[in-house]
Chains A and B, each alone.
Chain A
Amino acid sequence: MRKNKMLVAFACCVFAFLFLPLFIIAVTAFGGESAITFPIQSFSLKWFANIFTSGSFISSFKTSFQIALFATLLALLVGIPAAYALARYTIKGKNMIQSFFLSPTIIPGIVLGFALYRFIVLVMRMPVFYGLLLGHFLAVLPYIIRVVGSSLSQFDFSIEEAAWSLGCGKVSAFFKVVIPNITSGIMAAFMLAFINSFNNIPVSMFLTGPGVSTFPTNLMNYIEYNYDPTVSAVSVLLMAGTIIIMFVVEKTLGIASLAK
Chain B
Amino acid sequence: MEFLTLNKIDVTYDKKKTVLKGLNLEVKEGELVSLLGPSGCGKTTTLRVIAGFIEPSGGEFILDGRNYTKVPVHKRNFGIVFQSYALFPHLNVYDNVAFGLKLQKLKKAEIKRKVEDMLEICGLSEFADRFPGQMSGGQRQRVALARAMVIQPKLLLLDEPLSNLDAKLRINMRVEIKRLQKKFGITMIFVTHDQEECFSISDKVAVMNNGLIEQYDTPENIYLKPKTEFVARFIGFNNFIPLKKQSGGIFITERKELIQVEQETKLEEGLGTIRPDDILLADETVSENVMNATVGVRTFLGRSYQYEVDSTAGKLVVNAPIGKVYEPGDRVRVQLPKNKIIIVRKSM
Contact = CB atoms under 8 A, between A and B. Distances in A.
Looking at A167, A177, A180, A181, the one whose CB has the most chain B CB atoms below 10 A away is A167
A258 interface: no
A189 B162 CA distance: 37
Contacts of B80: 161-162, 165
Looking at A164, A165, A170, the one whose CB has the most chain B CB atoms below 10 A away is A165
Contacts of A156: 84, 86
Contacts of B99: 163, 166, 168
A167 B150 CA distance: 12
B87 to A, nearest CB: 7
Contacts of B104: 167
A169 B75 CA distance: 9
B88 A177 contact: yes
A42 B31 CA distance: 90
Contact of B151 (A163, A167, A180, A181): A167
B76 A159 contact: no
A53 interface: no
Interface residues of B, number: 26
A180 B100 CA distance: 17
B74 interface: yes
Interface in B68-121: 73-80, 82-84, 86-90, 99-100, 103-104
Looking at A156, A158, A162, A181, the one whose CB has the most chain B CB atoms below 10 A away is A162
A165 B147 CA distance: 11
B100 A167 contact: yes
A168 B53 contact: no
The interface residues of chain A, by DSSP majority, are classed as helix
B134 to A, nearest CB: 16
A115 B262 CA distance: 86
B86 A158 contact: yes
B103 A162 contact: no
Interface string B43-55: 0000000011100
A173 to B, nearest CB: 8
Contacts of B87: 159, 162
A117 to B, nearest CB: 43
Interface string A70-88: 0000000000000000000
B189 to A, nearest CB: 13
A167 B148 CA distance: 11
B26 to A, nearest CB: 23
A193 B110 CA distance: 45
Contact of A161 (B86, B103, B148): B86
Interface in B253-292: none
Looking at B78, B86, B148, the one whose CB has the most chain A CB atoms below 10 A away is B86
Nearest to A164: B73
Given A167-B77, A167-B100, A167-B104, A162 B82 contact: yes
A180 B73 CA distance: 22
B82 A169 contact: no
A171 to B, nearest CB: 11
Looking at B78, B80, B88, the one whose CB has the most chain A CB atoms below 10 A away is B88
Contacts of A166: 74, 99-100, 103, 147, 151
Contacts of B51: 161, 165
Contacts of B53: 161
A170 B73 CA distance: 9
A156 B132 CA distance: 14
Nearest to A170: B74
B74 A164 contact: yes
Interface in B302-346: none
Contact of B73 (A158, A161, A177, A181): A161
Nearest to B150: A166
Nearest to B73: A164
Interface string B168-206: 000000000000000000000000000000000000000
Contacts of A159: 86-89
A175 B74 CA distance: 15
A161 B81 CA distance: 10
Contacts of B52: 165
A253 to B, nearest CB: 14
Interface of B: 51-53, 73-80, 82-84, 86-90, 99-100, 103-104, 147-148, 151
Given A163-B99, A166-B99, 8 more contacts: A159-B88, A164-B73, A165-B52, A165-B80, A166-B151, A167-B75, A167-B104, A173-B74
24 contacts: A158-B86, A159-B89, A161-B51, A161-B82, A161-B86, A162-B87, A162-B147, A163-B99, A164-B74, A165-B74, A165-B79, A165-B80, A165-B148, A166-B74, A166-B100, A166-B103, A167-B74, A167-B75, A167-B103, A167-B104, A167-B151, A168-B74, A168-B99, A181-B90
Nearest 8 pairs of A and B residues by beta carbon: A166-B100, A158-B86, A167-B103, A162-B86, A164-B73, A180-B90, A165-B80, A158-B82
